[in-house]
Every structure is written in C-alpha cells, then in structure tokens.
Amino acid sequence: MKKHALLSTFGLSLMISTLTAQAAALSSEHSAFGQLPDGTAVEKYTLRNSHGVQASIITYGATLQSLLVPDKAGKVDDIVLGFDDVQGYQNNGTVYFGATIGRFGNRLAGGKFSLDGKTYQVPQNDKTNALHGGDKGFDKRLWKAEETKTADSVGVKLTYVSPDGEMGFPGRLQTEVTYSLNDKNELKIDYRATTDKPTVLNLTNHSYFNLAGVGSGDVLKQVATLHASHYTPVNDTLIPTGELPAVAGTPVDFLKPTAFGKHIKDDHQQLKYAEPKQGGFDFNWVLDSKGDVKKLAAEVSDPQSGRTLQLFTTEPGVQLYTGNFLDGSIHGKGGKVYPHWG
C-alpha cells in the first residue's frame, strides 16, 4: 500500500517566561485518568522541568489537560482551562478544551470540500458548516501513547489511526502528535501524518490560556502582540471571505502590545460576528513570519502574574479566540467557574 506523507512535521512551540525556580531535573510519568463509558482506560502523561513547569496530557483527544507555571513570586497556577476527569471533557465536548483538533480544524462552509474534482460532504455540526472535524473528530477519540525522551527534553507521542471515510473524509490517516518539554520552558507540539490516498488535513491544538490562572476571571487586561500585518475577515457564519485586508487602523491591530479589552467591544462588524452580544475575537491573522519557526509569531503577557507566553510556529497563520462562548455555566478544575472571555 502506497502511503503519502502529508506533513514531514509542523507544529508550534510555546515559550513560557516565569520566575526561575529550583526543582528536580526533567522527568515524566503516567497515571490513570478514569475510564470511558465502555470501560476503556484513559491515561495521563505528566512532563516536568527543573523550573517548576509541568504539562499533563491525556489520551482522550490527545488533550493538554493542565499546564502548571510559577508566577513572578513563585506561586504555581494552572494556565489552561479543562477538567479534573474525563467525564468533564465528554460532557462539555463542544468547548474543545486543550484538545487536538482534526481532521480539519475550524470550519468548512456547508460541510463540503472539493478534492481532485470530487466533492465530499461531511457532517454539519455548526449550523450549516462543519466544525473541527465533525461531531466526533480527533478530540473525541482515544489515542495510543508512549513516552519519549531526548538529551534535553521529555515528552509523549500520541497516535491515532483514522479509517478511510471516517466523518466523511477520504483516506486512511495515521496521525502522530508529540508534546515535549525542555528546560528552556518550551512546550513543543509536533504533528505528523501519513495517508494512503489524497485527503485534506488541518490539525491544531485548542487550548484556552489564562495566564493569571484558570478561574481567575476574564483575560481583558492581558496584553497580546501578534506579528501579523493582515488578517482573514469572516462572514456571519465565521467562514473566511477570501479577503486579506491590513490590520492597521482596525480593532484587530495587535502589531503593538495591546490589551484584549481595549477594542473588544468596539463597533466593528468582525467583532460582532465573533460574539454578537458583546464583541470578541475569533478569526485568523496572517503571520509576517510566513511559517519561519525561528521568528516570534505572537506573545501574550499578564502584568499581574508576570507570566508571558510566546508562540513560534511553522504555519502561516494563527487563530485568536477570546472564549466568546463561555458564559459562566461550565465548572472546571477544582470546581472553578470559567467566565465569559475567561
């Protein structure tokens, strides 16, 4: 059977600036994280570095379940939204906390795409569109995992084989997602996939970051910089229009450090499409780095905690989403409430 390597490797690297702390050397371990309704075990893999940073990944959805990071005073907080058990992820599947998204992240208009002259119809799970691979995408699959280790990092490689025709997508697809953590406070996510026939693929991670700590309130005072001179505007169903206007002079200009709350309520059609009642961000910026992983793509900082997150990626764009659909009804880790824009 001939296989086609869709991607040699692509991914992102998150660099977290914190107070330097003394801790044990790089280490990893795995433990139980509950069971699915059919009794299948879900596992958690925890990666630690010597600066007090700790990332936990679960095999359900190849999900980043927690990311513990010290603040400027040494206080450790979890900075990614999620749940304490697998039932939380299953019962709140439409928020995609920390999940690996596939086969196709974001929306397909009408749930359709054309490939080699053939039109494919996939499930429409976001009104008339397909979102994040359908109602049972990669985020709701159980992945196989194995620990990895190099001279300067610890990690876990997760693998999922999607059969030909799953959720309407052509081709048997084997996907590998590798999370690794090093002592530079870099959390790397690398993706690799192979298929036996042409298909479409758009993998990503759907973590929600709150650098002040989960459940601490909204992120409106946190400051973002996006090294992106253009963006992709969307229509009222959040499908890109095909235009690539400049960000200059608009509320989506983050070329200079700007608090999320500065323009989020501006009277601008794109912000209303993202969140009709109060405004929000939920679209793609075209990175000036053009996929050069050595160039800084984006940065977010929290003045209160002193935490800073930097993003490096091999991809040409980045999606910024401000938790517009969170409304305070979801109770996450430790019973904490996840508020709007939180």
CA distances from 136 to 74, 127, 256 (A): 40, 16, 39
17 in a labelled binding site = no
With beta carbons less than 8 A apart as the criterion, state whether 65 and 57 touch. Answer: yes
Q: How many domains is the chain partitioned into structurally?
A: 2
Cα 10 to Cα 20: distance, rounded to the nearest angstrom: 29
Query: Would you say residue 12 has pLDDT above 70?
Result: no
Whether the full predicted model's pTM is greater than 0.75, yes or no, is yes
208 in a labelled binding site = yes
183 in a labelled binding site = no
Q: Domain check: are 145 and 9 in the same one?
A: yes
Task: Identify the CA nearest to 234 among candidates 180, 281, 165, 187.
Answer: 281
- pLDDT value at residue 4: 43
pLDDT band for 9, please (50, 70, 90 cuts). Answer: very low
Q: Which residues contact 36 (CB under 8 A, 6 or more apart)?
A: 42, 60, 86, 90, 142
Final residue belonging to a domain, choices 208, 240, 261: 208
Q: Domain check: are 204 and 277 in the same one?
A: no
Q: Which residues contact 118 (CB under 8 A, 6 or more apart)?
A: none
Residue 125 maps to a domain: yes
Residue 340 maps to a domain: no
Q: Domain check: are 169 and 243 in the same one?
A: no
Q: Which residues contact 2 (CB under 8 A, 6 or more apart)?
A: 196
Residue 61 one-letter amino acid = G
Cα dihedral angle (65, 66, 67, 73), rounded to 10 degrees? 170
- Residue spans of alpha helices (H) in the chain: 86-91, 269-274
Residue 338 maps to a domain: no
CA distance between the termini of the chain: 47
Both structure tokens of 71? 């603040």
Q: Which residues contact 22 (CB under 8 A, 6 or more apart)?
A: 50
Residue 181 maps to a domain: yes
Cα 103 to Cα 37: distance, rounded to the nearest angstrom: 24
pLDDT per position as a tens digit, 304-330: 999 999 999 999 999 999 999 999 999
Q: Domain check: are 169 and 286 in the same one?
A: no
Cα 59 to Cα 102: distance, rounded to the nearest angstrom: 15
The count of C-alpha atoms lying within 13 angstroms of the C-alpha of 323, restricted to the half-sphere facing its C-beta, is 28
107 in a labelled binding site = yes
**Computed from CA positions of residues 320, 324, 328, 332, in that sequence, does the dihedral angle turn out positive or negative?**
negative
Both structure tokens of 73? 């005073």
Query: Would you say residue 6 has pLDDT above 50?
Result: no
- pLDDT value at residue 340: 94
207 in a labelled binding site = yes
Quote the percentage of the chain above a pLDDT of 70. 93
Domain residues for the domain of 289 are: 219-325
Q: Domain check: are 204 and 226 in the same one?
A: no
191 in a labelled binding site = no
- pLDDT value at residue 7: 42
Q: Domain check: are 157 and 202 in the same one?
A: yes
pLDDT per position as a tens digit, 139-174: 999 999 999 999 999 999 999 999 999 999 999 999
Q: Domain check: are 166 and 291 in the same one?
A: no
CATH code of the domain containing 161? 2.70.98.10
Q: Domain check: are 181 and 291 in the same one?
A: no
Both structure tokens of 47? 């990666």
pLDDT band for 1, please (50, 70, 90 cuts). Answer: very low
pLDDT per position as a tens digit, 123-141: 999 999 999 999 999 999 9
How many other CB atoms are there within 10 angstroms of residue 127's CB atom? 10
Q: Domain check: are 231 and 156 in the same one?
A: no
Residue 288 one-letter amino acid = D
pLDDT per position as a tens digit, 58-113: 999 999 999 999 999 999 999 999 999 999 999 999 999 999 999 999 999 999 99
- pLDDT value at residue 24: 67
**Computed from CA positions of residues 220, 14, 247, 104, in that sequence, does the dihedral angle turn out positive or negative?**
negative
Final residue belonging to a domain, choices 158, 181, 208: 208
Q: Is 203 left (phi over 0), alpha (psi -120 to 50) or beta?
A: beta
Q: Domain check: are 107 and 158 in the same one?
A: yes
Residue 319 maps to a domain: yes
Q: Domain check: are 195 and 270 in the same one?
A: no
Residue 333 maps to a domain: no
The mean pLDDT value of the chain amounts to 94
Query: Would you say residue 8 has pLDDT above 70?
Result: no
Final residue belonging to a domain, choices 208, 238, 262: 208
Q: Domain check: are 189 and 319 in the same one?
A: no
Query: Would you say residue 2 has pLDDT above 60?
Result: no
- pLDDT value at residue 20: 52
Residue 287 maps to a domain: yes
Residue 330 maps to a domain: no
